[in-house]
């Protein structure tokens, strides 16, 4: 029995919070396995390893091209993803086509891995309605209201559970999103009803320019999941193998009817928050960024695969050329879509527009707008 004096030792409780969430690691910065037993238990095939690497390379190239297109004024809102390849692409490999993705605005790569066409992603960036048409791909459009996707994911996950579906809803937000009420409300609902959900908090160090240590006094953001009564873990978000294994285990747990899991991935946003005028050197140092580059998930995975004879510079160059060609086609396809008119925006607002909106539609159509 715990004695009263021990329960009332607040200092001891604070110190304990720091040690309750050890970081899951499988591949170190040098591309060497640091947890052979976990790797063997995961049963990852060579094909899986190559597929994970390909996803991360695709994300890398898409990020490079998207930032260039944004600088040219050919895209609208773009949130760079450099540094988060493992946290996004490797985790998403753990999910199936029937699982439902609720992305945040930085989670375009996961949507594309799921089958969302790149040209539609470009149209979403431009604010075009077609960028919000998902077709048969089980994803919703990227959420701009940070954290709101956690509530929506909880609802979808609960629906899956009630229908006996062997699938899950999975969603991502950042460390900034974890400070929003919606994030906790979503986890709490999913926890209370043991819904089929997997939640990710991508702790990339900054909520726009606000550093992580000002977001929360909690040593680990994963601890917020405990408040909702759900299993919560911390993962090295620059380690593709740890990210994939953690996501796979979480999915297996959730789809078996045990309820949701929260995964905090420790990663870094190596580039600006968005291409809309952010300058990261106004709130962090060049030296800090360089330190994070030493943990680059692409380099780790490349070294590991090359040692196994599964990857080479020739293979990578050929694959990058294929992706660039795919992106070239997507740019042309997006450019050929007719531009939206003002009247289209009003038409798309409500299924049954009121008489004032009808008048506005008629007016703008009469002006050819």
Lowest model confidence (mean pLDDT) among 1-5, 114-118, 237-241, 308-312 = 1-5
Among residues 55, 106, 269, 300, the one annotated as catalytic is 269
Average pLDDT, the chain: 96
220 catalytic residue (yes or no): no
DSSP 339: P
Chain segment 94-152, per-residue pLDDT in tens: 999 999 999 999 999 999 999 999 999 999 999 999 999 999 999 999 999 989 999 99
Report the alpha-carbon distance of residue 163 to residue 148 in Å, rounded.
Answer: 24
Catalytic-residue membership of 93: no
- Asked if residue 311 has pLDDT above 90, the reply is yes
Rounded Cα–Cα distance for residues 160 and 259 (Å):
12
What pLDDT, on a 0 to 100 scale, did the predictor assign at position 113? Answer: 98
Catalytic residue among 82, 106, 126, 273: 273
Cα dihedral: 230, 234, 240, 245 (round 10): -40
Whether residue 300 lies in the annotated active site: no
What pLDDT was estimated at residue 66? 98
- Residue 42: half-sphere exposure toward Cβ, Cα within 13 Å: 22
Mean pLDDT for the stretch of residues 283-308: 97
């Amino acid at each position: 029995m715990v004695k009263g004096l021990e329960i009332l030792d607040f200092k001891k409780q604070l110190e304990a919070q720091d040690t309750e969430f050890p970081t899951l690691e499988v591949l170190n910065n040098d591309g060497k396995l640091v947890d052979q037993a976990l790797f063997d238990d995961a049963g990852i095939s060579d094909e899986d390893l190559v597929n994970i690497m390909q996803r991360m390379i695709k994300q890398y190239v898409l990020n490079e091209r998207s930032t260039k297109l944004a600088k040219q004024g050919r895209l609208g809102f773009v949130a760079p993803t450099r540094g988060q390849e493992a946290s996004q692409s490797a985790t998403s490999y753990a999910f199936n086509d029937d699982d439902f993705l609720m992305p945040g605005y930085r989670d375009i790569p996961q949507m594309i891995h799921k089958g969302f066409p790149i040209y539609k992603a470009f149209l979403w960036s431009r604010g075009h309605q077609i960028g919000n048409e998902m077709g048969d791909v089980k994803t919703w459009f990227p959420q701009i209201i940070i954290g709101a996707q956690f509530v929506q994911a909880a609802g979808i996950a609960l629906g899956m559970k009630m229908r006996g579906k062997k699938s899950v809803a999975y969603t991502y937000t950042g460390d900034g999103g974890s400070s929003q009420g919606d994030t906790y409300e979503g986890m709490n609902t999913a926890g209370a009803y043991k819904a089929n959900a997997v939640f990710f908090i991508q702790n990339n160090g900054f909520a726009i320019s606000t550093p992580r240590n000002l977001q929360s006094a909690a040593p680990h953001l994963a601890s917020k999941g405990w408040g909702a009564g759900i299993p919560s873990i911390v993962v090295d978000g620059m380690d593709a193998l740890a990210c994939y294994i953690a996501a796979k285990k979480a999915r297996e747990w959730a789809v078996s009817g045990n309820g949701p899991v929260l995964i905090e991935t420790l990663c870094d946003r190596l580039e600006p928050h968005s291409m809309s005028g952010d300058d990261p050197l106004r709130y962090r140092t060049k030296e800090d960024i360089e330190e994070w580059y030493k943990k680059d998930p692409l380099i780790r995975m490349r070294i590991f695969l090359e040692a196994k004879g599964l990857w080479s510079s020739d293979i990578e160059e050929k694959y990058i050329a294929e992706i660039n060609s795919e992106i070239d086609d997507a740019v042309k396809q997006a450019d050929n879509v007719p531009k939206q008119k003002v009247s289209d925006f009003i038409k798309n607002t409500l299924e049954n527009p009121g008489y004032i909106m009808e008048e506005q539609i008629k007016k703008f159509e009469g002006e050819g707008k």
